[in-house]
Amino acid sequence: MCLLLSRIIQANGGSPPLTYKKFLHVLSVLGEPEKPCRDVSAEDFLRCPTPADPELAYGVPSLADLGLEVQSETPWPGGETHALQRLHTHFQSQGWVSSFSKPRTVPNSLLPSTTALSPYLSLGCLSVRTFYHRLSSVYAQSKNHSLPPVSLQGQVLWREFFYTVASATPNFTKMEGNPICLQIHWYHEPESLEKWRTARTGFPWIDAIMTQLRQEGWIHHLARHAVACFLTRGDLWISWEEGMKVFEEFLLDADYSLNAGNWMWLSASAFFHKYTRIFCPVRFGRRTDPQGQYLRKYLPVLKNFPSQYIYEPWKAPKDVQLSAGCIIGKDYPCPMVCHTEASQRNLGLMRQVRTEQQKTAELTRDVTDDPMEAGLKRELQEEEELLEGAEPRSRSKRLSGSADHKSRPSSWTLETVRLSEDVT
């Protein structure tokens, strides 16, 4: 794997490809990944049953020993046997595998609408090569199949994409000192962060997702989008690093590279730039689950609300709240922000950050031409900003001399890395 990442980077001219398309191009030059040394079948694993008492057999401490609450049921029983069974179940439906298109899967179905193999991949229960080559054999039998980025194969290539970039980017899980990350002066608001973290934002769609995350350790990718956008550029304007840490804590599939990469993506800090596309915490979930079954499952306090109000229960008249047995502001929190106002304000902040970044980039370019003149320009610009009286909190931090992403700092090195060992 390490070898592969460095080969990709080498084939791309010494730096990691920063777009998925470019990444795919490099892969097409390098050819297919190796097969696993032996293709293990589900039957093989049926011959290797788990001992009746694993604790006794392996001396593994129980959850209770570790002081953790024992949950009677988990949707994610561990081990390769379960992983291969899950793989097998999904791959039985050739049509589903071949026509898979990620954006069309549903974030709030009661059972995962995707393979949900990520915990098994990230914990090493399932070999990604096994997955890849099983998939190839299904593709080989079908007349036509979907393609990256939306296809099932595309999903696992996203994983490799983020591994590649992460392996060659300093400070990949941080904003500061991260040359591909937009530098933003996020708000420091621990109380707001805590409301988001503990599913008390007052937006049922957001709180249900955060509840599923905390209870079960897995949420659909689009659900991750919803809560990530809400925390960062959409509503709360809190750093993606904070969200990343919470995901790291609760996600069974938490992965160094993918977690950071996707948080940068969603916060429009890197990879993704159409920051005007903001998820609405009311409408986004309602689109695919108008009855709010998902909300009723994870937020039982709201389960008796009529569908009309369940995504925005604060709009329900008092008598509706009474008969639903849930008073907003008492039994369930009021929305912590006005989404329309917050998202508009944040849109403005984001535009400001990018305008400033451009200015800084121009100045940096000037420095190479004529340092004296550029210095003067910089002074003038700073004066101008002072006169404008920009609100300090909303001003982006200056990139310390490396605003132009093309001119990377000299400390930029290709660490070819033990990362992939950490995460697979």
Partner DNA sequence: AGATCCGTTGACGGA
Partner DNA sequence: ATCCGTCAACGGATC
**Which residues sit at the interface with DNA, rule CB under 7 A?**
18-22, 102-105, 149-150, 154-155, 158, 221-222, 225, 265, 271-280, 283-284, 287, 290, 347, 351, 354, 405
Q: How far is the CB of 222 from DNA (least distance, A)?
A: 6
Looking at the Cβ atoms of 238 and 258, the one nearer to DNA is 258
Nearest CB to DNA, comparing residues 120 and 265: 265
Minimum distance, C-beta of residue 119 to DNA, in the bound complex (Å): 16
Indicate the angle between helix axes 240-250 and 204-216, nearest 10 degrees.
40
In the complex with DNA, the residue whose CB is nearer, 1 or 156, is 156
- Residue 90, C-beta contacts closer than 8 angstroms, at least 6 positions apart: 96, 97, 115, 117
Work out how close the CB of 283 gets to DNA at its nearest, in angstroms, rounded to a whole number: 4
Exposure letters 60-80 (e unless 16+ CB within 10 A, then b) = eeeeeeeeeeeeeeeebeebb
Closer CB to DNA, 277 or 315, in the complex = 277
Cis? peptide before 149, omega within 30° of 0: yes
**Region at 51 (left for phi over 0; alpha for psi -120 to 50; beta for the rest):** beta
| Shortest reach from residue 63's CB to DNA, in Å | 32
The residue (of 264 and 326) whose beta carbon lies closer to DNA is 264
Q: What does the alpha-carbon distance between residue 383 and residue 391 come to, in Å, rounded to a whole number? A: 14
- In the complex, least distance from residue 167 CB atom to DNA, rounded to whole angstroms: 18
CB atoms within 10 A of CB 28: 8
Of the two residues 159 and 321, which places its CB atom closer to DNA in the complex?
159
For residues 203 and 312, what is the distance between their CA atoms, to the nearest angstrom? 7
Cβ at position 106, least distance to DNA in Å = 9
What is the closest distance, in whole angstroms, from the C-beta atom of residue 311 to DNA in the complex? 11
Hey, is 136 helix, strand or coil?
helix
Both tokens assigned to 63: 């959850």
H or E element in which residue 319 lies = helix 318-324
Residue pair 154/162 in contact (Cβ under 8 Å)? The answer is no
Q: Please tell me whether residue 217 adopts helix, strand or coil conformation.
A: coil
List C-alpha distances in Å: 231 to 180, 182, 206. 21, 16, 10
C-beta closer to DNA: residue 141 or 344: 344
Of 88 and 277, which CB lies nearer to DNA in the complex structure? 277
| Closest listed residue to residue 108, CA positions, set 242, 299, 302 | 299
Minimum Å distance from CB 44 to DNA? 31
